[in-house]
Structure 1
Amino acid sequence: MSDPRQLLGYRAVQEEGLDDWRFFLMKLHARFATGSFVKGLELVTRITDAAEAANHHPDVVLTYPHVDVDLSSHDVGGVTSRDIDLARQISAVAAELGVEAVPREVSTLELGLDVPAADEVAPFWAAVLGYDVRARWPEVFDPGGRNNTLWFQTSPGATGEVQQRFHLDIVVPREVAEERLQEALAAGGTLVTDGHAPAFWVLADRHGNKVCICTADGREPDEDA
């Protein structure tokens, strides 16, 4: 990992043994259970010091019981050795402060829209939402990192005057996915298909509305391969 601009894929990140972190959607994600706002602010301050020293800056959200941290190299659009190094430093800081990592709690919610051709509608959605178009993926995203990404799934039948074809993707750590699946089935859902597992499982509620439980396993490209 000598090249700090080399994108790392799912398998390479897994081999780094970052127990506090989970990798999906081209980012490292961590949650630290601080238990108080004061302890959270102390952790954020220490993260800031480490980030400034490395000249590499994460996205950090401070709430009363948690600090959420996302790491990616924005200049190349994914995870690199810079993120691995800073993740290790942040974990060390948290351990020093007695703050526990709770990686099973991290997740990201995406919105998916079935369309005949993404390039025909992406500019519209970017304009109406105030988003940017992602060059490498059929999606538009909030450049401020606050709001949910909207991605476009190619569906040739989604033409004419049909009901709007949105669905949700909930992206979770690999070890959580099948537990979440079973909980959803117990709550009245049905399994539409597991043909793409462990990348994703498609479920439906009692009315047929679909949702995907997703992981990085088999979904993220192995850029380092």
Structure 2
Amino acid sequence: MSDPKQKLRYPQVREEGLDDWRFFLVKLHARFKTGSFVKGLELVTRITEAAEEADHHPDVVLTYPQVDIDLQSHDVGGVTSRDVALARRISAIAAELGIESAPREVSTLELALDVPDAAAVQPFWAAVLGYEQPHEWPEIMDPGGRNNTLWFQEAPDATGEVQQRFHLDIVVPREVAEERVAAAVAAGGTLVSEDAVPAFWVLADAHGNKVCVCTADGREPSTG
């Protein structure tokens, strides 16, 4: 691959055949089922060595019984060939250790606030949450990377007394989306809209509170 600082688009990453990884929200995501904390620590230690060698470092969460990994080139705010190369190396390490991946289990939860004017409220939310606005998009993020992103969705009628201001966006691998939607409907939900499929499905619970099941497919390529 060419320029190591060139952000890759979703179709480019998909062509790399990273079977253990899923690309959405400008990061590569993976989960490895270690089965024990000790085995997870062994995996993390090997990942640390590979990351130091590559001078490129992932975000790693070690829990029992799995290791979750996010890869992003923070200097460009997206996925680059550096991330692809390290993802391949991490997958190879896991295979050497006999650790299986669970790409169908990865997801990212975002919070969305429907507002008539994002600029009017965004500074308040950044201040009260201790968040930052890392780019020009109408969203704010936890600088430590631990808490959920909050983004602002334009909704001109979201003033005064309304039933719902917040809704959740759950981003899942493409092959999981229909199953997740079906499970939600079976649990008493309603499918509100399929107009934006496969980018997202809009559902509502029994009280009308909405949530979107999202995938990378159909979104702007640069957003993952």
Range of TM-score over shorter length: over 0.9
CA deviation digits over 1:112-151, x for unaligned, max 9?
A: 0001122221111110000001313210000100000001
Q: Which amino acid aligns with 1:24?
A: F
Gaps of 5+ in 1: none
Aligned counterpart, 1:182: 182
Distance in structure 2 (CA, Å) of the matches to 1:8 and 1:31:
21
| Structure 1 equivalent of residue 170 of structure 2 | 170
SS in 2 for 1:60: strand
Q: Give the gaps of 5 or more residues in structure 2.
A: none
Residue-by-residue CA offset, 1:35-82 (whole Å, 9 max, x unaligned) = 000000000000000101111100000001000000000011110000
Give the TM-score taking structure 2 as reference length: 0.97
Alignment RMSD = 1.4
Look up the SS of the partner of 1:133 in the other structure.
coil
Check the 8 A contact 2:13/2:23 in 1, yes or no: yes
Which stretch shows the higher mean deviation, 26-35 or 112-121?
112-121
Aligned residues: 224
Q: Deviations over 1:87-134 (max 9, x none)?
A: 000000000000000000000111000011222211111100000013
The aligned runs of 1:91-102 (5 Å cut-off) are 91-102=91-102
> How far apart are 1:223 and its partner, in Å?
7.7
1:158 is the counterpart of 2:158:
yes
Identity %: 78
Q: TM-score, structure 1 length as denominator?
A: 0.96
The equivalent of 2:195 in structure 1 is 195
**Which amino acid counterpart does residue 63 of structure 2 have in structure 1?**
T
What aligned pairs does 1:1-225 form with structure 2 within 5 A after superposition? 1-162=1-162, 165-222=165-222
